[in-house]
């Protein structure tokens, strides 16, 4: 079969699952430089160091890279992370017996590929950070009016959440000056949590010099602000994790066409399997929210005063019934590197997740509880939601998409196509892991 390669025209799909009918579908355009926010080499350089530096965490023991590491496709290789109170990487991360975590992180650590593309205006599984021109700072977040001016966009603003989270990076209630500030509600202003982090960075001469080289206003005497730190990290993520050098990209650019199982999988993806209904565009996401019946386990998304293990997704942000159990469509770029899958990391196997995703109502009854990758965290219940027939029924009842019947051969073809989305530089990034960081703290290698 020969595929027409013009992306201004339609693709002619004639895969075996479609029978004899030919269906014309639009292919996404190739990725271009114009799709990405601009960066500067100086900000990328300082952001590179800050991303890997534990200095931003309350107890100086966790960096951004701890849960977004290239070894695990810019995630951390486990279903639900252990943040503060553990050491190590991925599934080898172990609990610190002298400072045990209070709970698992309730959602899977998302990958970071292509988040610097300007079409990514909504972040986190529940979309709690969104671009909003109507707001004074151009952002809508749970912090509302406490948001400060100066974030370059949503990618910069998202860095403020992990550093304020006691379970992720801040530390628990009275462990350090940052966790104490968070606990007392001091986020902004002098001696607020963000300023305390900025004070740490300002005190390191190498960072001071790097920001002076990157920002004329800092060179002129303005103190380094937390927004400078977050903007630098955003520039780094934009540069480091841009990924558009996969076989799929070569296909879109009319360089080397996909063939064999990858081609058949693409035909299914844009045809009868209906994957492109939600996974559309150059980054294979519609940036919308859908309830897909992903198995729920772990602590759920609840405040400390709430007594449940549910995660109702977008509903917690909007309060709209239509958003209950809906989560943001992830980009599929480099998906073969980013296991486990789903907002809880419910499946370690990509083919198993594809099959489940096609028919969640059937899949939940046959779900194998050995699919998640979980740390041994004794004494903490994990299957509360799945053990509740009513909650399980609510999760599957929220699924609005019709089931898709896929044969094992179809699943194999789709998985092969998804593997063609892996970029050549994705496993390492462009700059890679620094040997050292200016704070002198250990780097997660």
**10-residue block means of pLDDT along the chain (445 residues)?**
35 37 62 98 98 98 98 98 96 92 94 98 97 90 79 94 94 93 90 96 98 98 97 98 98 96 97 96 98 96 86 97 98 98 98 97 93 86 94 96 97 98 97 98 97
Using an 8 Å Cβ cutoff, are 174 and 84 in contact?
A: no
CB proximity list for 288: less than 8 A, separation 6 or greater: 278, 328, 329
What is the SS3 assignment for 269? Answer: helix
> What is the model's pLDDT at position 17?
39
Residue 32 CA to residue 30 CA, distance in Å, equals: 6
- On whether the CB atoms of residues 403 and 362 are closer than 8 A, the answer is yes
Q: Closest Cα to residue 329, out of 139, 125, 176, 47?
A: 125
Report how far residue 443's alpha carbon sits from residue 445's, in angstroms, rounded to the nearest whole number: 6
Report yes or no: 214 and 229 within 8 Å, Cβ to Cβ: no
Measured between alpha carbons, how far is residue 99 from residues 152, 167, 177, 365 in Å?
35, 12, 17, 38
Q: How far from the centroid of its chain's Cα atoms is residue 218's Cα? A: 31
Helix, strand or coil, per DSSP, at residue 214: helix
- Counting Cα atoms < 13 Å in the Cβ hemisphere of 147 gives 26
H helix intervals, 19-72: 41-52, 64-67
Check whether the bond before 347 is cis (ω within 30° of 0): no
Question: What is the distance between the alpha carbons of residues 55 and 67, in angstroms, rounded to a whole number?
Answer: 15
Helix (H) or strand (E) holding 290: strand 289-290
CB 90 within 8 A of CB 82: no
What tokens were used for 41?
């080499």
Where are the alpha helices (H) located in 215-305, listed in sequence order?
Answer: 216-219, 226-240, 247-252, 260-269
How far, in Å, CA of 89 to CA of 81, rounded?
Answer: 10
* pLDDT value for 379: 67
Give the burial class of 75: count Cβ atoms within 10 A of its Cβ; 0-12 exposed, 13-18 middle, 19 or more buried: buried
Nearest to 151 by CA among 206, 226, 219, 48: 226
Gap between the Cα atoms of 115 and 186, Å rounded: 29
State the Cα–Cα distance between residues 50 and 210, nearest whole angstrom: 11
């Amino acid at each position: 079969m020969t595929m027409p390669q013009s992306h201004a025209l339609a693709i002619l799909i004639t895969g075996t699952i479609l029978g004899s009918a030919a269906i014309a579908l639009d292919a996404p355009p190739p990725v271009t430089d114009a799709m990405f926010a601009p960066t500067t080499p100086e900000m990328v350089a300082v952001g590179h160091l800050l991303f890997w530096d534990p200095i931003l965490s309350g107890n100086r023991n966790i960096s951004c890279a701890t849960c977004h590491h290239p070894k695990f496709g810019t995630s951390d290789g486990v279903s639900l992370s252990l943040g503060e109170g553990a050491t190590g990487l991925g599934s080898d991360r172990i609990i610190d017996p002298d400072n045990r975590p209070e709970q698992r992180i309730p959602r899977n650590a998302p990958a970071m590929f292509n988040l610097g593309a300007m079409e990514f205006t909504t972040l986190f599984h529940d979309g709690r950070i969104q671009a909003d021109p109507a707001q004074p700072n151009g952002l809508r977040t749970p912090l509302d009016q406490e948001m400060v001016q100066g974030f370059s966009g949503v990618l910069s603003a998202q860095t403020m959440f992990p550093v304020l989270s006691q379970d992720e990076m801040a530390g628990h209630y009275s462990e350090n000056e940052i966790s104490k500030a968070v606990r007392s509600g001091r986020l902004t202003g002098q001696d607020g949590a963000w300023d305390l982090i900025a004070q740490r960075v300002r005190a390191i001469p190498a960072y001071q010099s790097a920001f002076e080289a990157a920002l004329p206003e800092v060179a002129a005497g303005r103190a380094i602000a937390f927004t400078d730190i977050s903007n630098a990290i955003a520039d780094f993520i934009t540069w480091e994790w841009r990924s558009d050098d996969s076989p799929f990209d070569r296909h879109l650019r009319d360089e080397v066409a996909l063939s064999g199982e990858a081609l058949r999988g693409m035909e299914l993806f844009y045809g009868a399997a209906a994957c492109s209904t939600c996974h559309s565009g150059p980054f294979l996401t519609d940036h919308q929210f859908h309830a897909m019946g992903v198995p729920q386990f772990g602590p759920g998304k609840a405040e400390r005063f709430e007594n449940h293990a549910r995660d109702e997704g977008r509903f917690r942000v909007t309060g709209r019934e239509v958003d209950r159990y809906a989560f943001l469509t992830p980009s599929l770029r480099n998906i073969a590197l980013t296991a486990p899958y789903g907002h809880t990391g419910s499946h370690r196997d990509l083919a198993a997740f594809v099959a489940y995703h096609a028919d969640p109502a059937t899949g939940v009854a046959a779900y194998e509880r050995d699919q998640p990758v979980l740390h041994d965290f004794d004494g903490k219940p994990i299957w509360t939601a799945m053990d509740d027939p009513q909650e399980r029924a609510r999760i599957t009842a929220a699924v609005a998409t019709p089931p898709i019947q896929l044969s094992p051969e179809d699943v194999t073809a789709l998985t092969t196509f998804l593997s063609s989305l892996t970029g050549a530089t994705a496993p390492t990034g462009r700059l890679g892991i620094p040997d050292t960081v200016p704070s002198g703290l250990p780097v997660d290698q």
